[in-house]
A and B are shown apart, each in its own frame.
Chain A
Amino acid sequence: MSAGENDGSADRINGIKSTLRVVPDFPKPGILFLDITTLLLDPKAFKDTIDLFVERYKQKDISVVAGIEARGFMFGPAIALAIGAKFVPLRKPKKLPGEVISEKYVLEYGTDCLEMHVGAVEPGERALVIDDLVATGGTLCAAMNLLERAGAVVVECACVIEVPDLKGRERLRLHGKPLYVLIESRFEPTS
Protein backbone atom coordinates (compact mmCIF):
# COMPACT_ATOMS: atom_id res chain seq x y z
CA MET A 1 0.00 0.00 0.00
CA SER A 2 1.13 3.51 -0.67
CA ALA A 3 -0.01 6.69 1.02
CA GLY A 4 -1.91 9.12 -1.13
CA GLU A 5 -4.81 6.73 -1.67
CA ASN A 6 -6.54 8.68 1.07
CA ASP A 7 -7.43 12.23 -0.06
CA GLY A 8 -6.36 13.82 3.23
CA SER A 9 -2.71 12.93 2.73
CA ALA A 10 -2.22 13.82 -0.95
CA ASP A 11 -1.04 17.38 -0.33
CA ARG A 12 1.34 16.32 2.37
CA ILE A 13 2.73 13.58 0.11
CA ASN A 14 3.30 16.06 -2.70
CA GLY A 15 5.09 18.37 -0.32
CA ILE A 16 7.33 15.56 0.90
CA LYS A 17 8.08 14.37 -2.63
CA SER A 18 9.09 17.86 -3.70
CA THR A 19 11.74 18.05 -0.98
CA LEU A 20 13.57 14.88 -2.03
CA ARG A 21 16.54 15.13 -4.33
CA VAL A 22 18.27 12.73 -6.65
CA VAL A 23 22.07 12.67 -6.67
CA PRO A 24 23.44 11.10 -9.87
CA ASP A 25 26.38 8.71 -9.90
CA PHE A 26 26.41 8.08 -6.16
CA PRO A 27 27.87 5.93 -4.73
CA LYS A 28 29.09 4.88 -8.15
CA PRO A 29 28.51 5.81 -11.82
CA GLY A 30 25.09 4.95 -13.18
CA ILE A 31 23.33 4.98 -9.82
CA LEU A 32 20.71 7.65 -9.13
CA PHE A 33 20.76 8.06 -5.37
CA LEU A 34 17.54 9.16 -3.65
CA ASP A 35 18.57 11.60 -0.92
CA ILE A 36 16.26 12.22 2.05
CA THR A 37 18.52 14.76 3.77
CA THR A 38 16.79 17.62 1.93
CA LEU A 39 13.50 16.42 3.42
CA LEU A 40 15.02 16.81 6.89
CA LEU A 41 15.82 20.46 6.04
CA ASP A 42 12.10 21.22 5.63
CA PRO A 43 10.49 21.15 9.09
CA LYS A 44 6.92 20.99 7.74
CA ALA A 45 7.69 18.19 5.30
CA PHE A 46 9.64 16.25 7.92
CA LYS A 47 6.78 16.63 10.42
CA ASP A 48 4.26 15.53 7.76
CA THR A 49 6.38 12.44 7.06
CA ILE A 50 6.33 11.40 10.70
CA ASP A 51 2.64 12.29 11.09
CA LEU A 52 1.64 10.09 8.15
CA PHE A 53 3.37 7.08 9.71
CA VAL A 54 1.99 7.86 13.18
CA GLU A 55 -1.57 8.18 11.87
CA ARG A 56 -1.27 4.76 10.28
CA TYR A 57 0.26 2.94 13.27
CA LYS A 58 -1.03 4.57 16.43
CA GLN A 59 -4.07 2.28 16.70
CA LYS A 60 -2.23 -0.89 15.69
CA ASP A 61 -0.83 -1.87 19.13
CA ILE A 62 2.78 -1.60 17.99
CA SER A 63 5.15 -2.06 20.92
CA VAL A 64 8.46 -1.91 19.01
CA VAL A 65 9.75 0.31 16.24
CA ALA A 66 12.98 -1.12 14.80
CA GLY A 67 15.08 1.28 12.75
CA ILE A 68 17.82 0.25 10.35
CA GLU A 69 21.17 2.01 10.66
CA ALA A 70 21.66 4.81 9.90
CA ARG A 71 18.85 6.59 8.04
CA GLY A 72 16.22 4.47 9.80
CA PHE A 73 17.44 6.18 12.97
CA MET A 74 16.28 9.53 11.59
CA PHE A 75 12.64 8.44 11.24
CA GLY A 76 12.09 5.57 13.68
CA PRO A 77 12.58 7.28 17.06
CA ALA A 78 10.10 10.09 16.35
CA ILE A 79 7.47 7.53 15.35
CA ALA A 80 8.21 5.41 18.42
CA LEU A 81 7.90 8.42 20.73
CA ALA A 82 4.57 9.45 19.20
CA ILE A 83 2.99 5.99 19.50
CA GLY A 84 4.53 5.09 22.89
CA ALA A 85 6.62 2.22 21.54
CA LYS A 86 10.20 1.15 22.24
CA PHE A 87 12.86 2.05 19.69
CA VAL A 88 15.34 -0.68 18.77
CA PRO A 89 18.33 0.15 16.57
CA LEU A 90 19.39 -2.53 14.07
CA ARG A 91 23.06 -2.02 13.39
CA LYS A 92 26.06 -3.08 11.34
CA PRO A 93 28.39 -5.56 13.06
CA LYS A 94 30.33 -4.61 16.19
CA LYS A 95 28.49 -1.33 16.84
CA LEU A 96 26.09 -2.56 19.54
CA PRO A 97 27.73 -3.18 22.92
CA GLY A 98 26.77 -6.29 24.86
CA GLU A 99 25.11 -9.45 23.66
CA VAL A 100 23.61 -9.42 20.16
CA ILE A 101 22.01 -11.71 17.60
CA SER A 102 23.24 -11.41 14.01
CA GLU A 103 21.56 -11.97 10.67
CA LYS A 104 23.62 -12.32 7.53
CA TYR A 105 22.16 -11.30 4.19
CA VAL A 106 23.23 -11.43 0.59
CA LEU A 107 24.14 -8.39 -1.48
CA GLU A 108 24.69 -8.25 -5.22
CA TYR A 109 28.38 -8.76 -4.54
CA GLY A 110 29.13 -10.41 -1.21
CA THR A 111 27.22 -10.37 2.05
CA ASP A 112 26.42 -8.01 4.89
CA CYS A 113 25.18 -8.42 8.42
CA LEU A 114 22.64 -6.78 10.73
CA GLU A 115 22.63 -7.05 14.54
CA MET A 116 20.10 -6.54 17.33
CA HIS A 117 20.53 -6.57 21.09
CA VAL A 118 19.50 -9.70 22.94
CA GLY A 119 16.61 -8.79 25.22
CA ALA A 120 15.56 -5.66 23.33
CA VAL A 121 12.50 -7.44 21.99
CA GLU A 122 10.35 -10.00 23.80
CA PRO A 123 8.22 -12.82 22.41
CA GLY A 124 4.79 -11.64 21.38
CA GLU A 125 5.76 -8.03 20.77
CA ARG A 126 4.29 -6.37 17.69
CA ALA A 127 6.97 -4.66 15.61
CA LEU A 128 7.28 -2.13 12.84
CA VAL A 129 10.49 -1.97 10.77
CA ILE A 130 11.54 1.45 9.48
CA ASP A 131 14.06 2.55 6.87
CA ASP A 132 14.30 5.54 4.55
CA LEU A 133 14.12 3.51 1.35
CA VAL A 134 13.33 -0.03 0.13
CA ALA A 135 15.18 -1.27 -2.94
CA THR A 136 15.52 -5.07 -3.25
CA GLY A 137 14.18 -5.65 0.26
CA GLY A 138 17.23 -7.62 1.37
CA THR A 139 17.99 -5.45 4.41
CA LEU A 140 14.34 -5.36 5.47
CA CYS A 141 14.17 -9.16 5.27
CA ALA A 142 17.24 -9.45 7.46
CA ALA A 143 15.61 -7.04 9.93
CA MET A 144 12.40 -9.07 9.97
CA ASN A 145 14.37 -12.26 10.59
CA LEU A 146 16.07 -10.71 13.61
CA LEU A 147 12.78 -9.62 15.12
CA GLU A 148 11.10 -12.97 14.44
CA ARG A 149 14.03 -14.90 15.89
CA ALA A 150 13.46 -12.91 19.09
CA GLY A 151 9.80 -13.94 19.02
CA ALA A 152 8.23 -10.71 17.82
CA VAL A 153 5.51 -10.43 15.18
CA VAL A 154 6.41 -8.03 12.38
CA VAL A 155 3.24 -6.11 11.58
CA GLU A 156 4.59 -4.13 8.63
CA CYS A 157 7.68 -2.57 7.08
CA ALA A 158 7.51 1.16 6.45
CA CYS A 159 9.73 3.34 4.28
CA VAL A 160 9.60 6.88 2.96
CA ILE A 161 10.55 5.78 -0.58
CA GLU A 162 10.11 2.62 -2.64
CA VAL A 163 12.01 1.86 -5.85
CA PRO A 164 9.43 -0.45 -7.46
CA ASP A 165 11.70 -1.67 -10.26
CA LEU A 166 13.87 -3.42 -7.64
CA LYS A 167 10.92 -5.52 -6.45
CA GLY A 168 11.33 -5.13 -2.72
CA ARG A 169 7.58 -5.30 -2.26
CA GLU A 170 7.45 -8.74 -3.89
CA ARG A 171 10.34 -9.94 -1.74
CA LEU A 172 8.51 -8.86 1.40
CA ARG A 173 5.34 -10.52 0.13
CA LEU A 174 7.30 -13.79 -0.14
CA HIS A 175 8.23 -13.29 3.50
CA GLY A 176 4.52 -12.82 4.18
CA LYS A 177 4.72 -9.21 5.22
CA PRO A 178 3.20 -6.00 3.85
CA LEU A 179 5.07 -2.83 2.91
CA TYR A 180 3.86 0.73 3.38
CA VAL A 181 5.57 3.65 1.66
CA LEU A 182 4.84 7.31 1.16
CA ILE A 183 6.45 7.74 -2.24
CA GLU A 184 7.34 5.60 -5.22
CA SER A 185 10.33 6.48 -7.30
CA ARG A 186 10.47 5.40 -10.91
CA PHE A 187 13.44 6.10 -13.15
CA GLU A 188 14.18 6.12 -16.82
CA PRO A 189 16.53 3.22 -17.56
CA THR A 190 20.17 4.28 -17.19
CA SER A 191 23.01 2.96 -19.29
Chain B
Amino acid sequence: MSAGENGDSAGRINGIKSALRVIPNFPKPGIMFQDITTLLLDPKAFKDTIDLFVERYKHEIISVIAGIEARGFIFGPPIALAIGAKFVPLRKPKKLPGEVISEKYILEYGSDCLEMHVGAVESGDRALIVDDLIATGGTLCAAMNLLERAGAEVVECACVIEVPELKGRERLRSHGKPLYVLVESQFLKGTLMATESQEEEEKMLMGKSISRVEVKNRLRQSFASFIDLN
Protein backbone atom coordinates (compact mmCIF):
# COMPACT_ATOMS: atom_id res chain seq x y z
CA MET B 1 0.00 0.00 0.00
CA SER B 2 1.18 3.51 -0.71
CA ALA B 3 0.04 6.73 0.91
CA GLY B 4 -1.71 9.21 -1.31
CA GLU B 5 -4.68 6.99 -1.88
CA ASN B 6 -6.52 9.14 0.63
CA GLY B 7 -7.32 12.59 -0.79
CA ASP B 8 -6.31 14.41 2.40
CA SER B 9 -2.75 13.11 2.28
CA ALA B 10 -2.15 13.78 -1.40
CA GLY B 11 -1.12 17.39 -0.82
CA ARG B 12 1.27 16.39 1.93
CA ILE B 13 2.75 13.58 -0.17
CA ASN B 14 3.43 15.99 -3.03
CA GLY B 15 5.18 18.33 -0.63
CA ILE B 16 7.31 15.48 0.70
CA LYS B 17 8.18 14.24 -2.79
CA SER B 18 9.26 17.72 -3.88
CA ALA B 19 11.56 17.96 -0.86
CA LEU B 20 13.55 14.87 -1.86
CA ARG B 21 16.54 15.09 -4.13
CA VAL B 22 18.37 12.65 -6.36
CA ILE B 23 22.16 12.61 -6.42
CA PRO B 24 23.57 11.13 -9.63
CA ASN B 25 26.58 8.83 -9.57
CA PHE B 26 26.58 8.24 -5.82
CA PRO B 27 28.12 6.13 -4.41
CA LYS B 28 29.31 5.11 -7.86
CA PRO B 29 28.71 5.95 -11.54
CA GLY B 30 25.28 5.10 -12.89
CA ILE B 31 23.55 5.10 -9.52
CA MET B 32 20.85 7.71 -8.78
CA PHE B 33 20.84 8.06 -4.99
CA GLN B 34 17.56 9.05 -3.32
CA ASP B 35 18.55 11.61 -0.70
CA ILE B 36 16.17 12.30 2.19
CA THR B 37 18.38 14.89 3.91
CA THR B 38 16.71 17.71 1.98
CA LEU B 39 13.36 16.53 3.38
CA LEU B 40 14.78 17.04 6.89
CA LEU B 41 15.61 20.65 5.99
CA ASP B 42 11.90 21.37 5.40
CA PRO B 43 10.18 21.37 8.81
CA LYS B 44 6.68 21.17 7.36
CA ALA B 45 7.52 18.31 5.00
CA PHE B 46 9.40 16.44 7.74
CA LYS B 47 6.47 16.88 10.14
CA ASP B 48 4.03 15.72 7.46
CA THR B 49 6.17 12.61 6.90
CA ILE B 50 6.01 11.67 10.57
CA ASP B 51 2.31 12.57 10.83
CA LEU B 52 1.40 10.30 7.91
CA PHE B 53 3.07 7.33 9.59
CA VAL B 54 1.61 8.20 13.01
CA GLU B 55 -1.91 8.51 11.59
CA ARG B 56 -1.59 5.04 10.09
CA TYR B 57 -0.21 3.30 13.18
CA LYS B 58 -1.54 5.06 16.26
CA HIS B 59 -4.56 2.77 16.54
CA GLU B 60 -2.73 -0.43 15.59
CA ILE B 61 -1.40 -1.25 19.08
CA ILE B 62 2.24 -1.13 18.09
CA SER B 63 4.56 -1.59 21.08
CA VAL B 64 7.92 -1.46 19.27
CA ILE B 65 9.35 0.67 16.48
CA ALA B 66 12.60 -0.82 15.15
CA GLY B 67 14.73 1.56 13.11
CA ILE B 68 17.52 0.46 10.79
CA GLU B 69 20.88 2.21 11.13
CA ALA B 70 21.37 4.99 10.38
CA ARG B 71 18.59 6.78 8.48
CA GLY B 72 15.93 4.66 10.19
CA PHE B 73 17.11 6.38 13.40
CA ILE B 74 15.91 9.70 12.00
CA PHE B 75 12.32 8.64 11.30
CA GLY B 76 11.70 5.88 13.85
CA PRO B 77 12.04 7.74 17.16
CA PRO B 78 9.58 10.56 16.39
CA ILE B 79 7.01 7.95 15.33
CA ALA B 80 7.68 5.91 18.50
CA LEU B 81 7.34 8.99 20.70
CA ALA B 82 4.05 9.97 19.09
CA ILE B 83 2.43 6.54 19.44
CA GLY B 84 3.93 5.67 22.84
CA ALA B 85 6.05 2.74 21.62
CA LYS B 86 9.56 1.64 22.49
CA PHE B 87 12.30 2.49 19.99
CA VAL B 88 14.81 -0.25 19.19
CA PRO B 89 17.86 0.53 17.05
CA LEU B 90 18.98 -2.22 14.65
CA ARG B 91 22.67 -1.72 14.06
CA LYS B 92 25.74 -2.82 12.13
CA PRO B 93 28.01 -5.25 13.98
CA LYS B 94 29.86 -4.19 17.13
CA LYS B 95 28.00 -0.92 17.64
CA LEU B 96 25.53 -2.07 20.30
CA PRO B 97 27.07 -2.60 23.74
CA GLY B 98 26.06 -5.65 25.71
CA GLU B 99 24.44 -8.87 24.56
CA VAL B 100 23.05 -8.92 21.04
CA ILE B 101 21.50 -11.28 18.52
CA SER B 102 22.84 -11.10 14.96
CA GLU B 103 21.25 -11.75 11.58
CA LYS B 104 23.40 -12.18 8.53
CA TYR B 105 22.02 -11.29 5.12
CA ILE B 106 23.23 -11.60 1.56
CA LEU B 107 24.32 -8.67 -0.59
CA GLU B 108 25.02 -8.82 -4.30
CA TYR B 109 28.69 -9.36 -3.46
CA GLY B 110 29.28 -10.76 0.01
CA SER B 111 27.13 -10.43 3.09
CA ASP B 112 26.32 -8.01 5.89
CA CYS B 113 24.95 -8.30 9.37
CA LEU B 114 22.33 -6.56 11.53
CA GLU B 115 22.21 -6.72 15.33
CA MET B 116 19.61 -6.14 18.05
CA HIS B 117 19.93 -6.07 21.82
CA VAL B 118 18.85 -9.15 23.73
CA GLY B 119 15.87 -8.16 25.87
CA ALA B 120 14.89 -5.09 23.87
CA VAL B 121 11.89 -6.90 22.49
CA GLU B 122 9.64 -9.39 24.27
CA SER B 123 7.42 -12.22 23.17
CA GLY B 124 4.09 -10.72 22.18
CA ASP B 125 5.45 -7.29 21.23
CA ARG B 126 3.88 -5.93 18.04
CA ALA B 127 6.54 -4.28 15.90
CA LEU B 128 6.86 -1.82 13.06
CA ILE B 129 10.14 -1.60 11.13
CA VAL B 130 11.16 1.78 9.75
CA ASP B 131 13.82 2.78 7.23
CA ASP B 132 14.18 5.70 4.83
CA LEU B 133 14.14 3.59 1.66
CA ILE B 134 13.38 0.05 0.51
CA ALA B 135 15.29 -1.35 -2.46
CA THR B 136 15.59 -5.17 -2.69
CA GLY B 137 14.15 -5.66 0.80
CA GLY B 138 17.18 -7.62 2.03
CA THR B 139 17.86 -5.40 5.04
CA LEU B 140 14.18 -5.28 6.01
CA CYS B 141 14.00 -9.07 5.88
CA ALA B 142 17.03 -9.32 8.18
CA ALA B 143 15.31 -6.88 10.52
CA MET B 144 12.11 -8.90 10.51
CA ASN B 145 14.06 -12.06 11.29
CA LEU B 146 15.66 -10.41 14.33
CA LEU B 147 12.33 -9.29 15.70
CA GLU B 148 10.66 -12.64 15.07
CA ARG B 149 13.54 -14.54 16.67
CA ALA B 150 12.92 -12.45 19.77
CA GLY B 151 9.26 -13.44 19.73
CA ALA B 152 7.75 -10.23 18.37
CA GLU B 153 5.13 -10.04 15.66
CA VAL B 154 6.04 -7.75 12.78
CA VAL B 155 2.91 -5.82 11.82
CA GLU B 156 4.34 -3.94 8.84
CA CYS B 157 7.46 -2.40 7.32
CA ALA B 158 7.31 1.32 6.61
CA CYS B 159 9.61 3.44 4.45
CA VAL B 160 9.55 6.94 3.05
CA ILE B 161 10.63 5.78 -0.43
CA GLU B 162 10.23 2.58 -2.45
CA VAL B 163 12.25 1.70 -5.54
CA PRO B 164 9.69 -0.59 -7.20
CA GLU B 165 12.01 -1.98 -9.88
CA LEU B 166 14.06 -3.68 -7.18
CA LYS B 167 11.05 -5.71 -6.04
CA GLY B 168 11.37 -5.24 -2.30
CA ARG B 169 7.60 -5.36 -1.91
CA GLU B 170 7.50 -8.83 -3.46
CA ARG B 171 10.32 -9.99 -1.22
CA LEU B 172 8.43 -8.85 1.85
CA ARG B 173 5.30 -10.52 0.54
CA SER B 174 7.27 -13.80 0.35
CA HIS B 175 8.10 -13.23 4.02
CA GLY B 176 4.36 -12.74 4.59
CA LYS B 177 4.54 -9.10 5.55
CA PRO B 178 3.06 -5.92 4.06
CA LEU B 179 4.94 -2.76 3.10
CA TYR B 180 3.76 0.82 3.44
CA VAL B 181 5.54 3.69 1.70
CA LEU B 182 4.84 7.35 1.10
CA VAL B 183 6.65 7.84 -2.21
CA GLU B 184 7.74 5.68 -5.12
CA SER B 185 10.95 6.76 -6.79
CA GLN B 186 11.32 7.08 -10.53
CA PHE B 187 14.54 5.08 -10.37
CA LEU B 188 14.74 3.56 -13.80
CA LYS B 189 13.93 6.67 -15.77
CA GLY B 190 16.34 8.73 -13.71
CA THR B 191 19.12 6.20 -13.99
CA LEU B 192 18.90 6.07 -17.75
CA MET B 193 19.77 9.74 -17.69
CA ALA B 194 23.01 8.96 -15.86
CA THR B 195 24.48 6.83 -18.65
CA GLU B 196 27.82 7.74 -20.09
CA SER B 197 26.91 9.03 -23.48
CA GLN B 198 23.97 10.60 -25.19
CA GLU B 199 24.15 8.03 -27.96
CA GLU B 200 24.03 5.11 -25.58
CA GLU B 201 21.08 6.66 -23.83
CA GLU B 202 19.21 7.12 -27.07
CA LYS B 203 19.90 3.54 -28.09
CA MET B 204 18.66 2.31 -24.73
CA LEU B 205 15.53 4.39 -24.92
CA MET B 206 14.77 3.17 -28.41
CA GLY B 207 15.51 -0.40 -27.43
CA LYS B 208 17.72 -0.89 -30.45
CA SER B 209 20.96 -2.13 -29.03
CA ILE B 210 19.97 -3.23 -25.55
CA SER B 211 16.64 -4.61 -24.54
CA ARG B 212 14.76 -2.86 -21.75
CA VAL B 213 14.94 -6.03 -19.68
CA GLU B 214 18.73 -6.09 -20.06
CA VAL B 215 18.96 -2.44 -19.04
CA LYS B 216 16.86 -3.16 -15.97
CA ASN B 217 19.01 -6.14 -15.03
CA ARG B 218 22.25 -4.23 -15.34
CA LEU B 219 20.92 -1.34 -13.35
CA ARG B 220 19.48 -3.63 -10.69
CA GLN B 221 22.88 -5.29 -10.31
CA SER B 222 24.78 -2.06 -10.02
CA PHE B 223 22.22 -0.59 -7.63
CA ALA B 224 21.88 -3.70 -5.50
CA SER B 225 25.61 -3.91 -4.87
CA PHE B 226 25.60 -0.71 -2.86
CA ILE B 227 22.10 -0.46 -1.46
CA ASP B 228 23.21 -1.30 2.05
CA LEU B 229 25.04 1.98 2.38
CA ASN B 230 23.44 2.73 5.70
A binding-site residues for B, Cβ under 8 Å: 21, 23, 26-27, 33, 35, 37, 40-43, 46-47, 50, 69-71, 73-75, 77-78, 80-81, 84-89, 91, 94-98, 117, 120
B24 smallest CB distance to A (angstroms): 9
In contact, A43 and B96 (Cβ under 8 angstroms): no
B21 smallest CB distance to A (angstroms): 8
Tell whether B210 is near chain A: CB-to-CB under 8 Å.
no
In contact, A88 and B73 (Cβ under 8 angstroms): no
Question: Which residue on A lies nearest to B99, using beta carbons?
Answer: A23
Between-chain CB contacts (< 8 Å), 19 pairs: A21-B98, A26-B98, A33-B97, A41-B120, A43-B84, A47-B81, A69-B70, A70-B73, A70-B89, A70-B91, A77-B46, A80-B43, A81-B78, A88-B41, A91-B70, A97-B27, A98-B21, A98-B35, A117-B37
In contact, A87 and B81 (Cβ under 8 angstroms): no
CB neighbours (8 Å) of A46 from chain B are 77, 80-81, 87
In contact, A35 and B81 (Cβ under 8 angstroms): no
Give the B interface residue count (CB, 8 A). 39
In contact, B81 and A23 (Cβ under 8 angstroms): no
Question: Which residue on B lies nearest to A39, using beta carbons?
Answer: B87
Would you list the 8 A-B pairs with minimal beta carbon distance, nearest first? A23-B97, A97-B23, A73-B73, A26-B97, A97-B26, A87-B40, A40-B87, A97-B33
In contact, B40 and A86 (Cβ under 8 angstroms): yes
Question: Which residue on A lies nearest to B51, using beta carbons?
Answer: A81
Tell whether B12 is near chain A: CB-to-CB under 8 Å.
no
CB neighbours (8 Å) of B40 from chain A are 77, 80, 86-89
CB neighbours (8 Å) of A88 from chain B are 37, 40-41
In contact, A40 and B117 (Cβ under 8 angstroms): no
Main SS at interface, chain B = mixed
Instruction: Specify which of A70, A87, A97, A98 is in contact with B46 (CB 8 Å cutoff).
Output: A87
B binding-site residues for A, Cβ under 8 Å: 21, 23, 26-27, 33, 35, 37, 40-43, 46-47, 50, 69-71, 73-75, 77-78, 80-81, 84-89, 91, 94-98, 117, 120, 229
Give the most central of A26, A87, A120: most B CB within 10 Å. A87
CB neighbours (8 Å) of B37 from chain A are 88-89, 96, 117, 120
CB neighbours (8 Å) of B47 from chain A are 81
CB neighbours (8 Å) of B85 from chain A are 43
A17 smallest CB distance to B (angstroms): 18
A145 smallest CB distance to B (angstroms): 20
CB neighbours (8 Å) of A86 from chain B are 40-43
B49 smallest CB distance to A (angstroms): 10
Complex Cα gap A78–B84 (Å): 13
Question: Which residue on A lies nearest to B67, using beta carbons?
Answer: A74
In contact, B81 and A50 (Cβ under 8 angstroms): yes
In contact, A43 and B46 (Cβ under 8 angstroms): no
Question: Which residue on A lies nearest to B49, using beta carbons?
Answer: A81
Instruction: Specify which of B21, B74, B81, B120 is in contact with A73 (CB 8 Å cutoff).
Output: B74
Instruction: Specify which of B26, B75, B229 is in contact with A98 (CB 8 Å cutoff).
Output: B26
A41-B86, A41-B88 given; A70·B70 CB < 8 A: yes
Question: Which residue on B lies nearest to A65, using beta carbons?
Answer: B40
